[in-house]
Amino acid sequence: LNADFLIGGSYKYLRGGPGACFLYISPDAFESGLAPLDTGWFAKRDPFLYDRPDPPQLAAGGDAFLESTPPVLTYYQARSGQRFILEIGISRLRDYNLDRLKRLKTYLANAGVDSCGGDPQHGAFLTLRHPSAASVTQRLSNVHIHTDARGPWLRLCPDCLTREEDLIQAAKAVALMIKSTPL
């Protein structure tokens, strides 16, 4: 990738859960004297000395970028998720996701809801605009349909385990909530 920095995680399809993430720093960027602005107690030179000197006394090397106690179980979950994905295959999973998105987009359109995305040039989400997207997300959660809101955008992302009937139910619920949530 020829990147100076790379941040990633194994959330969503990789099934790692919160906290299963990583940071890569290229040797050139690392050797430039780069230091973190915010650290956890593992990043200290002596992590078991429970004080916070100012300025921080950072551990040597990449340990200076560590945070606090890692969520160990998350990494076991991530390992199982990665094995699952490798068995399925990334291309097959992407094709399946695109099919789910296309179907969901069609069901939404049939219910009178316009959405963006769902094609190979976009990520794994459909988005639709609503001034009260956070309220729509909360109302959908109350009927066990989990979405995400970012500002005025409602994000929908079918999982690889999402069934056809789930897509139909979700489209109906989204249409109802979009039309009945006050602006």
Residue that finishes a domain, picked among 59, 88, 117:
88
Same-domain pairing of 44 and 25: yes
Q: Identify the domain containing residue 107 by its residue range.
A: 90-180
Residue that finishes a domain, picked among 47, 65, 88:
88
Angle at 113 between CA 173 and CA 117, to 5 degrees: 105
Tokens linked to 89 = 């295959």
Beta bridge partners of 148: 155
Q: How many CB atoms lie within 10 A of CB 3?
A: 10
* Total number of domains in the chain: 2
Nearest-angstrom CA–CA distance, 75 and 12: 14
Same-domain pairing of 102 and 72: no
Is residue 21 packed enough to be buried (19+ CB in 10 Å), middle (13-18) or exposed (0-12)? middle
Same-domain pairing of 83 and 106: no
Same-domain pairing of 24 and 50: yes
CATH number of the CATH domain containing 158: 3.90.1150.10
Residue type, 45: R
pLDDT tens digit at each of 183 positions of the chain: 799 999 988 776 677 777 788 889 999 888 888 888 878 888 888 888 877 778 888 888 888 888 888 778 888 888 888 898 899 998 999 999 999 999 999 999 999 999 999 999 998 899 999 999 999 999 999 999 999 999 999 999 998 889 999 999 999 999 999 999 887
Please state the pTM of the whole predicted model: 0.74
Phi, psi values for residue 25, rounded to 5°: -125, 125
